[in-house]
Every structure is written in C-alpha cells, then in structure tokens.
Amino acid sequence: MLIINVKDSENIDRALKRYKRKHRKVGMLRNIRNRKHYTKPSDERRNEVLKAIYKRQKAEDES
C-alpha cells in the first residue's frame, strides 16, 4: 500500500501527481499484469533477449 503524506499548504492535484509518480516507480500495475498469467523463466529470459536486440537495432537505425 502506498502512503503519500499531504503537506498543509500542498494542492491536492500536486499530491495526486506525486501518488501517480510513486505508483509508476514501484511498478505495481506491471507486477499485477505479470502475475495474471504464469510465464516460464526460460520464456521470460527469451523475451528479455529479444527486447534487448530490438532496442539495439532501433538505436543503430537512428544513428
């Protein structure tokens, strides 16, 4: 559970923005999505490798 301490003079929009940022940083939603379906460790590793290859190719194309 995330806790955000709202300061006395702080605007509620600002506090909400801090909450959203903290929520993204913790990776709560990604964690929930990953736990929906079991993925074998070998498949996870393969996906990581494929993603790294894709990123490298993308960077080389932009250069």
For the segment 28-58, what is each residue's pLDDT rounded down to a tens digit?
888 888 899 999 999 999 999 999 999 999 9
* Amino acid code (one letter) for 20: K
* Amino acid code (one letter) for 36: K
Q: Give the global pTM.
A: 0.50
Of 3, 54, 2, the closest CA to residue 27 belongs to: 2
Token pair belonging to 47:
């996906």
Instruction: Please tell me the predicted confidence (pLDDT) of residue 23.
Output: 87
* Amino acid code (one letter) for 2: L
What phi and psi values does residue 14 have, to the nearest 5 degrees?
Answer: -65, -40
- Percent of the residues in the chain that have a pLDDT greater than 70, as a whole number: 100
Kindly compute the dihedral angle of the four CA atoms of residues 9, 15, 17, 19, in this order, to the nearest 10 degrees: 160
